Amino acid sequence: MTELRFDGRVAIVTGAGGGLGRRHALLLAARGAKVVVNDIGGSVTGDGTDAGPAAAVVTEIRELGGEAIADTSSVATAEGGAALVNAALNTYGRVDILVNNAGILRDTPFHALTPDLLDPVLDVHLRGAFHVTGPAWHAMREQGYGRVVNTTSAAGILGTAGKSNYGAAKAGLVGLTRVLAQEGAQHGIKVNAVAPIAATRMLTHSMGETGGAADRQLAPAAREMMNAITGKLDPALVSPVVAFLAHEDCPVTGETYTAGAGQVARFFTGRTRGYHHSALSAEDVRDHLREIRDETGYTIPADPGEEIAQLLRAIAARPEPADG
Ligand code: NAI
């Protein structure tokens, strides 16, 4: 079995001063990548800064014989993103891998959402990915090679109450992943997403153990289940998925993988076969909802063109339903 190596590759991992990002950085560096360890060193809610966490991970990598530099730019601004990518280019001359991992939480029920709870979350997760991927994209296109791994979340893909800001940002990253996969294809750039499940300070915070309000705590049954598996949720077990998606041998693009406790699976967007009537009425939708929702024979369109083709085929193949 050949080891997946990253010799000669330069990787940026955002939010790598702790949690999942630290593990991603350590693994990539252990496999030969030169790593830019980015982290602003703030709290889980994005308050404050501290150069310590990024520096500590760099020390850890160097002590293990790896190569790394620290960067404390904030991904939440375009200037920060540019400074981060410039740090990689100025020090190592290229950027092959970008792991958009930095994140914060500002959970609140939607009815209590205020700009100070919304904007910073969008800025770090969603705009942050634009801020860093933008300048990295230019370098990747020029060299005809790149791997981008975005960090999404089940909170956005599946939905979690109290996380409208975070969930929307995370689901937005899936859209960004799909679009960039298409734009990157002709330039040797692959873009995928990972939805992690890992015992980090963020998960602890989500479970309401650090000052969480009662309305943002998990339901008792979910909490009991999480407590039972927390010990198995080593963030290091997510990093192999990130590393594979960041490797030259990765054959897929535009996809989302959920990873936690050593399990990896794919999330995908399916389309049911649906129901067609050339003069569709609201009553038709009501009366055929079961057929519309029936998952038998669902498809996974690769892009909107494929979806339209399926629609046209379905119309052509189905006789016009009788009225009513
Ligand atoms: P964490 O809180 O340990 O790590 C996030 C890191 O991002 C922190 O070190 C923080 O300082 C850094 N960061 C925050 N704002 C930044 C900014 N503006 N610029 C640069 N760095 C910044 O949490 P964790 O769990 O390691 O989170 C990593 C990623 O995984 C996040 O994107 C999170 O949303 C995502 N995620 C985590 C899950 C979990 O189960 N732990 C579940 C789903 C998604």
* C-beta of 132 in contact with ligand 1 (< 6 A): no
Give the β-pairing of 256-260 and 263-267: antiparallel
Instruction: Taking residues 260-287, report their average pLDDT.
Output: 97
CA pair distance 179, 163, nearest whole angstrom: 24
Average pLDDT for 194-199: 97
Residue 273 near residue 297 (C-beta atoms within 8 A): yes
Residue of 145, 166, 257, 275 marked active site: 166
Take atom 11 of ligand 1 and give the residue whose Cα is closest: 41
CATH, domain 269-324, list 1.10.3470, 1.10.1060, 1.10.287, 3.40.50: 1.10.287
* Alpha carbons 288 and 24: distance in angstroms, whole number: 47
Ligand 1 atom nearest to 53, measured from its CA: 9
**CATH of the domain spanning 10-267, picked from 3.40.50.720, 3.40.50.1820, 1.20.210.10, 3.40.190.10:** 3.40.50.720
Of 98-102, 181-185, 306-310, 316-320, the one with minimum mean pLDDT is 316-320
- Residue 207 Cβ contacting ligand 1 at under 6 Å: no
For ligand 1, atom 3, name the residue with the nearest CA.
19
In this predicted structure, the answer to whether residue 176 has a pLDDT above a threshold of 80 is yes
Do the domains 269-324 and 10-267 match in fold? no
DSSP-based helix, strand, coil % in the chain, nearest 5: 50, 15, 35
User: Is the pTM here over 0.85, yes or no?
Assistant: yes
Probe residue for ligand 1, chosen from 12, 14, 20, 119 as the CB with the greatest number of ligand atoms within 8 Å? 20
Domain positions in the chain? 10-267, 269-324
Q: Tell whether the model's pLDDT for residue 211 goes beyond 50.
A: no
Residue 247's nearest CA partner among 60, 27, 39, 66 is 27
* Distance (Å) of CA 192 to CA 132, 152, 157: 15, 10, 14
Q: How far is the CA of 21 from the centre of ligand 1 (A)?
A: 7
Does ligand 1 have an atom closer than 6 angstroms to the CB of 197? yes
Point out the least confidently predicted range of 32-36, 65-69, 168-172, 227-231: 227-231
**How many CB atoms neighbour CB 172 within 10 A?**
19
Q: Which pLDDT score, from 0 to 100, does residue 285 have?
A: 98
Pairwise CA distance, residues 58 & 22, whole Å: 9
User: What ranges in the chain are assigned the alpha helix state H?
Assistant: 19-30, 52-63, 78-92, 115-121, 128-143, 154, 164-184, 201-206, 220-230, 239-245, 282-287, 289-293, 304-317
Judged against a pLDDT cut of 60, whether residue 224 lies above it is answered with yes
Q: Identify the band that residue 218 occupies on the pLDDT scale cut at 50, 70 and 90.
A: low
Q: What rounded mean pLDDT belongs to the chain?
A: 94
Between the CA of 124 and the centroid of ligand 1 the distance, in Å, is 9
Atom of ligand 1 nearest to the CA of 201: 3
Q: How far is the CA of 101 from the centre of ligand 1 (A)?
A: 6
Q: What was the pLDDT predicted at 212?
A: 45
pLDDT recorded at residue 254: 98
Is the model's pLDDT at 215 over the cut of 70?
no
Q: Per-residue pLDDT for 199 more than 90?
A: yes
What pLDDT shows up at residue 268?
98
pLDDT (0 to 100) of residue 322: 57
145 catalytically annotated: no
Nearest to 248 by CA among 26, 39, 28: 28
- β-sheet bridge partners, residue 189: 146
pLDDT in tens, 12-41: 999 999 999 999 999 999 999 999 999 999
Per-residue pLDDT reduced to its tens digit, 239-262: 999 999 999 999 999 999 999 999
Which H/E stretch holds residue 97?
strand 97-100
User: Is ligand 1 within 6 A of the CB of residue 200?
Assistant: yes
